[in-house]
Amino acid sequence: MPGRLEGKVCVVTGAASGIGAETARLFGQEGAIVVGTDLSPESEGEFTLVVDVADEEQVKDMYTQVREKYGRIDVLFNNAGINPPEDESVLDTSLETWQRVQDVNVRSVFLCCKHGIPHLIETGGGSVINTASFVAIMGAATSQISYTASKGAVLALSRELGVEFGRRGVRVNALCPGPVNTPLLEELFASDPARASRRLIHIPMGRFGETREIAQSALFLASDDSSFVTASTFMVDGGLSGAYVTPE
């Protein structure tokens, strides 16, 4: 039985770890030709590239190489991003930190869409998935202001592009994970269980998400299973964004 992405050429940014790496592996299992990119040379994928996705010339060259090698591009999973530990309240965040997060989290998505979408249009359309976050629609007293603002921008950008390109065969959606059980989060909360508890209490399912669960959602948005889904804020957050009071 063919996979849901059989023969599709998928470019995954931030493919060396976390959600990006897990999604690249899953896309490959579903029959995709996966091009994994990252600043690290350890990306998952059939073909990998070391790319700074905040650099316009590198982004343009990335897509040129993929087209020359495979002849088409069908899916963009614009997932690369950072959340530096020094990102705090607006009162404490430096301008340097603010700008660095905007450059990686917003500029990169803008550049990947600007230079990637034309390839999708030229080869018959496709799917663009931009990784935003549940924080794009919710506020928190434990603020990470530059990260939150960057993900709000990704969400708005994705919605706009979904509307703009819907009749040209390109679907664009913002994937919004809730808190995900990554090695970084495990390390942080192992040293401070109170911080973990403060966050878990707000999640109706009572646990953090797993990278595989986010990858499965990206797979749905990449595949023809989501053929009538575009300009959406696709929440994968264990019910967090819908909760007021959670079970004890």
| Position 16 in a domain | yes
| Position 247 in a domain | no
Residue 83 in tokens:
């959340």
In DSSP terms, 235 is beta-bridged to: 176
For residues 21 and 46, give the distance between their C-alpha atoms in angstroms, rounded to a whole number.
12
Number of domains comprising the chain: 1
Q: Contact, 60 vs 38, CB < 8 A?
A: no
Per-residue pLDDT of the chain (248 residues; tens, 9 = 90+): 789 999 999 999 999 999 999 999 999 999 999 999 999 999 999 999 999 999 999 999 999 999 999 999 999 999 999 988 766 888 989 999 999 999 999 999 999 999 999 999 999 999 999 999 999 999 988 889 999 999 999 999 999 999 999 999 999 999 999 999 876 667 666 777 787 778 888 999 999 999 999 999 999 999 999 999 999 999 999 999 999 888 87
For residues 248 and 245, give the distance between their C-alpha atoms in angstroms, rounded to a whole number.
9
How does strand 233-236 pair with strand 170-177? parallel
Cβ-based neighbours of 45, under 8 Å, separated by 6 or more = 12, 15, 24, 28, 34, 35, 36, 37
| Position 196 in a domain | yes
For 151-154, the CB contacts below 8 A with 24+ separation are 151/105, 151/176, 153/102, 153/105, 153/106, 154/105, 154/106, 154/109, 154/130
Query: Which CATH number do you get for residue 109?
Result: 3.40.50.720
In what helix (H) or strand (E) does residue 124 lie, and over which residues does it extend? none
For residues 10 and 239, give the distance between their C-alpha atoms in angstroms, rounded to a whole number.
29
| Position 22 in a domain | yes
| Position 20 in a domain | yes
Residues belonging to the active site: 147
For residues 164 and 105, give the distance between their C-alpha atoms in angstroms, rounded to a whole number.
21
Residue 202 in tokens:
């707000």
Residue 241 in tokens:
């964004």
| Position 152 in a domain | yes
| Position 54 in a domain | yes
Residue 212 in tokens:
């595989």
> Which domain does 194 fall in, by range?
9-235
